[in-house]
A and B are shown apart, each in its own frame.
Chain A
Amino acid sequence: MSLNPHDPAPASAPPGCAVHIRGLTHVFSGNAAPVVALSAIDLDIPAGGHVALMGPSGAGKSTLLSLVGGLDRPQRGELRVGRHDLARLSGDALAAYRRTTVGFVFQHFGLLDLLSARENVELALALADVPLHERHQRAGALLEGVGLGRRADHRPSALSGGERQRVAIARALANNPGLILADEPTGNLDAQTAMLVLELLERVHREQGCTLVVVTHNQAVAERADHRYLVDAGKLVA
């Protein structure tokens, strides 16, 4: 089954977004001494590419993901995703970028337990001002696509970890993003479920042609990517 909610029109799926990073530096300044999270990162990810970011905890992987995903604004350096220059975006424009260009998949799933699986997917569509009647239909199609059509009305707390992550993937795909950012997508899953989720992400990447960036500690997960980069102490090592 296709993952494109607009099926049968796969040709209309947006192409993946290329990521272009030059001299990206990010410093966290709190009450204590400033912490350099990223230091002069240079990275190019081609449109439709599949990249894995590896590295120890606190190395700066999640910070890099946050910056590419528009969760934070770049402090110094150049960061372009597709036609978007993220250093120039703020406020509503940055929110619109996250809504239309990026799909996030979190280690903690990031589902709202107030809402059913279907409503979680519909929420992403609601934020994009998709009409009510269309939301229901599209959310149903997306959940069918990840094999959860029968569990659409269950709350996340009633789903297994793998099922939750599949709902999160369906939500990430709701607005046809050009870039999917997965932050430790298999971190909370057993090996078998992790493989199923990875296969699903890869199928999305293949069918939709979107760019896929996966942050992981897991070597096996990283091996499946086209390119692997190691982040250590805020620097891109390899």
Chain B
Amino acid sequence: MSWRDSLTLAIRSLRRRPGRTALTVLAVTLGTGLLMALGTIAGTADTRVISQLSKGGPAAAIKVAAAEPDPTQLASDNLRVGKPKNLTDEAVRAILRAPHVDSVVPILATRVLAIPPPRGSAAVPVSEAAERRSRPPDPIFETMVGADLSRVHQLPITLLAGRLPAAASLTEVAVTQGYLDRLHLDVNKPAMVLGTDIEFADPQFNSKDPVKYRGRWFRARVVGVVAQEVGDGQFLVPIRQTQVARVWSLQGEGDGGDLPLPTSAYTGLVVIASSLDEVHTVRGEITVLGYATSAPEHLVASVQKYLHVVDIVLGGIGTIALVIACLGIANALLAAVRERRREIGVLKAIGARDRDILRWFLVEALAVGAVGGLLGTLLGVAVAEVVGSIVNGYLVAQGLEGVDLGGISPLFLLAGIAGTIVLALIAGVIPALQAARLPARDAVGGA
């Protein structure tokens, strides 16, 4: 008897008892749905927590400073620096060659004088506009952080409004919430600064000039508001912008006056380790190369342990529900074996082998598992979406960033269906063996 014949028999058998079949499938659907929903929610929560700890960047990111390391730095997540030490292209290449290093993103921060938009622009609340219009704008002496924005997914940057500056642009800038705070704007309404222009001046020191500092003036448009941990500073620009500023500063004469000359090619690096487990090893390698590092490795590791416990508990609850549902399959099949005793005898009398009977019952269990697994997976995703939207509503109401469940892996969904089928098959083994071992003489029973 072929698999096709077994499938026909199994489906017809299930249709003969529609109520029992529906209840069994429903139990499997609910069990799978619960497991999938808990798995999805737990997975999203884990990702969100780790993302929060790594400030939006990869969890395996390590920040490197242009300074020598403190001897005790590997025992701590925080930056413990020694004497300043230039970060050069050669150092970048050396780090990149180290084992377990996926990539290195250079950072260059420079000091700038920034003049916010004129008073009365859209960036200033209307009520204050008239009062402030009479005064000239206050300049801000701040740090501008330059990074390779084409690799933004490797950097601890979270976009709050608008977009990031184009990777090659010299006329676009993103600001932080600190900038809004400094202008006395509502930090919860970041979009109001988008489209405004800021005048910047890179300083150049000339000891022989009567005017000691000269500025390289340029204007940049605010295209986005970000939360960033790339470096200390309220302006984020493509690294090309700060490299031009550094060259300008170095073209001056003297020691830089009150502003130290930017002798280091980079003020920092973001190094991405191949995995979270390798972060400590990579930090050790960078320490050997002579640079100070920081990474939330100890924090992430301990939080991960707690998250793992939560995952186990939630997964356990879902698995227990699914196992109970599969026991339902076993119970339904055992009842079917009792009911079909004579049919099984007749099948054997007309030549069915034990394995034909075994296959009939296993295919029946598989069909229930497949349908229940598929429906349960869909139900689980739907439940997770509903829970996600409720949580999102709460987070947004609290002024926090929402969660995104859109990244449910197809592999996870397939694993849910496959896992249910495997459990259903396991549940079907005992009834199927019992059916296969029934004696053929039962066919003549009751004659």
Contact = CB atoms under 8 A, between A and B. Distances in A.
Interface in B167-205: none
A100 B351 CA distance: 8
A147 B352 CA distance: 27
Nearest to A93: B353
B439 A69 contact: no
Interface stretch (B8-16, B140-148, B283-291): B8-16
B444 A183 contact: yes
A95 B447 contact: no
A115 B447 CA distance: 22
B348 A106 contact: no
Contact of B447 (A62, A171, A172, A175): A62
Contacts of B440: 66, 70-72, 98
Interface size grouping (class) on chain A:
35 or more
Nearest to B9: A114
B350 A106 contact: no
A127 B351 contact: yes
A10 interface: no
The winner among A98, A100, A113, A183 for most chain B CB atoms within 10 A is A98
Interface string B424-443: 00000000000000011101
Interface string B1-43: 1101100010011001000000000000000000000000000
A98 B348 contact: yes
Contacts of A128: 351
Contacts of A111: 346
The B contact surface, by secondary structure, is: helix
B343 interface: yes
Nearest to B440: A71
B210 interface: no
B447 A106 contact: yes
Contacts of B4: 132
Contacts of B447: 62, 106-108, 183-184, 187
Interface in A117-145: 123-124, 126-129, 132
A108 B13 CA distance: 20
B2 A66 contact: no
A91 B350 contact: no
Nearest to A92: B353
B352 A95 contact: yes
A131 to B, nearest CB: 10
Nearest to A91: B354
Interface string A162-205: 00000000011001000000011001000000000000000000
A231 interface: no
A96 interface: yes
Interface in A59-118: 62, 65-66, 69-72, 91-92, 95-96, 98-100, 104, 106-108, 110-115
Interface size grouping (class) on chain B:
20 to 34
Contacts of A91: 353-354
A188 to B, nearest CB: 10
B348 A71 contact: yes
B350 A127 contact: yes
Contacts of B352: 95, 127
A186 B342 CA distance: 19
Interface in B17-71: none
Contacts of A106: 346, 349, 443-444, 447
B356 interface: yes
B346 A112 contact: yes
A106 to B, nearest CB: 7
B406 to A, nearest CB: 44
A127 B268 CA distance: 75
Contacts of A124: 350-351
B342 to A, nearest CB: 7
A123 B5 contact: yes
B351 A98 contact: yes
A112 B447 CA distance: 16
B1 A127 contact: yes
Interface of B: 1-2, 4-5, 9, 12-13, 16, 342-343, 345-354, 356, 439-441, 443-444, 446-447
Interface of A: 62, 65-66, 69-72, 91-92, 95-96, 98-100, 104, 106-108, 110-115, 123-124, 126-129, 132, 171-172, 175, 183-184, 187
8 contacts: A71-B345, A71-B439, A71-B443, A91-B353, A92-B353, A110-B346, A127-B350, A184-B447
